[in-house]
Structure 1
Amino acid sequence: MALIGYARVSTTDQDPQLQLDALKAAGAERVYTDHGVSGAKAERPELDRCLDHLREGDVLAVWKLDRLGRNTVHVLQLIEQLTERGIGFRSLTEGIHTDGPMGKAMLTIMMAFAELERDTIIERTRAGLAAAKASGRTGGRPKRTHNPDADKAKELKAKGLSAPDIAKMLGCSRATVYRYLSEE
């Protein structure tokens, strides 16, 4: 029997070290880590490798339930597949394991709350963005009031120069030139 860990961070600039330390402290012999992969995605390369590696009698451990996936149905299906293969499951933070019926019931309840929390955060974010938009605020970098390079790009384009030539003259990328030319 081997304890195998799985860790995941949603963006490449996040650090999985907290998860890795907890999994090692729990006795994980090996840890698979996905970097910059959303839990909402069904295909996660390291999780797939981890699932292929697991054998009957092994236990898959995660730091927290939401590291395995964001969707209750998907996580429960994954755990059901593990159970059918004779593989156990542990969530370290929530203290949940699939050794018995109570563990499975608690797992279902915890996943439902994790999904509710995620959906609530998304709903609040969308409501906040809609409120900001309604009051005339938009996100992103503020537009420059006057850009002499944009004026120069338009002048050069009017003289018949191509975007790549204009980019070389202004010392910027073609994409920047095209953006300058599209501005009103």
Structure 2
Amino acid sequence: MATIGYARVSTTDQNPQLQLDALKAAGAARVFTDHGVSGAKTERPQLDAALDYVRKGETLVVWKLDRLGRNTRHVLEVVDALHERGIGFRSLTEGITTEGPMGRAMLTIMAAFAQLERDTMIERTRAGLAAAAANGRKGGRRPKLDRTQAARAAELRAKGMTATEIGKVLGCSRATVYRYLAPEPSAAPATRLNPE
């Protein structure tokens, strides 16, 4: 019976290739991938599509348990729903399968540990941001473009270059170019960039 894969990356900048390669190596006949969907979001269009697509006797496989659900409860709900439909489940990294009672028990334990790991990471991040704020530093990612590059993007746009072309010149994505060329909230509405 067929194996159906599901992959997820939290941001549009992340590359799911590692997951895709592992799922293909595991024999996935088809892989559904959600891009730019964090673990906390309830809407995962490609997960929904994968769950609709997979049939009785088949197996849904993920690279890692935390790719499947928002939390332990959600992971177990998805796996229980699959089990009721006669569909198996495998997580490659943890080596978990729902075959037999031991596999299901291990799944419950691993899902709980995955949840604990996520919660601990969130707690550490919050503590780090609070400590940085107390010391007068601003948290968050470094900007993709510095002021000089942002000004260069505006110059190139004024010369008629597309966002994709500007991205190639500056070594960034088209989405990044769009963000830097977006008008300030208080500014007058700007002309929309030409579609590409």
Shorter-chain TM range is 0.7 to 0.9
Task: Name structure 1 gaps, 5 residues minimum.
Answer: 142-171, 179-184
Q: TM (normalized to structure 1)?
A: 0.76
Aligned partners of 1:111, 1:51: CA distance in 2, in Å?
19
Backbone CA RMSD of aligned residues: 2.0
Gaps of 5+ in 2: 143-181, 189-196
State the Cα deviation string for residues 27-54 of structure 1 (Å, max 9, x = none).
1100000000112222200111110111
Deviations along 1:84-108, whole A, 9 cap, x unmatched? 0000000011110001110011111
Inter-partner Cα distance in structure 2 for 1:174 and 1:26: 47
- Counterpart for residue 69 of structure 2: 69
Describe the shift of the 1:133–1:26 C-alpha distance in structure 2 as closer, same or farther (beyond 3 A): same
CA distance in structure 1 between the partners assigned to 2:4 and 2:183 by the alignment: 47
Greater relative CO, 1 or 2 (CA 8 Å, sep 6+): 1
Percent identity of paired positions between Structure 1 and Structure 2: 75
Q: 1:24 to 1:132 in 2, by over 3 A?
A: same
Structure 1 runs of 4+ aligned residues shifted over 4 Å read none
The structure-2 alpha-carbon separation of the partners of 1:173 and 1:82, relative to structure 1 and needing over 3 Å to count, comes to closer
The answer to whether the 8 Å contact 2:42/2:70 transfers is no
In 2: Cα distance, 1:177 partner to 1:80 partner: 51
Query: Whose radius of gyration is greater, 1 or 2?
Result: 1
For the residue of structure 2 that corresponds to 1:29, the secondary structure is strand
Q: How many residues align?
A: 149
TM-score (norm 2): 0.71
2:152 aligned partner? none
Q: CA deviation at 1:137?
A: 2.3
Code of the residue aligned with 1:55 in structure 2: it is R
Residue in 2 aligned with 1:152? none
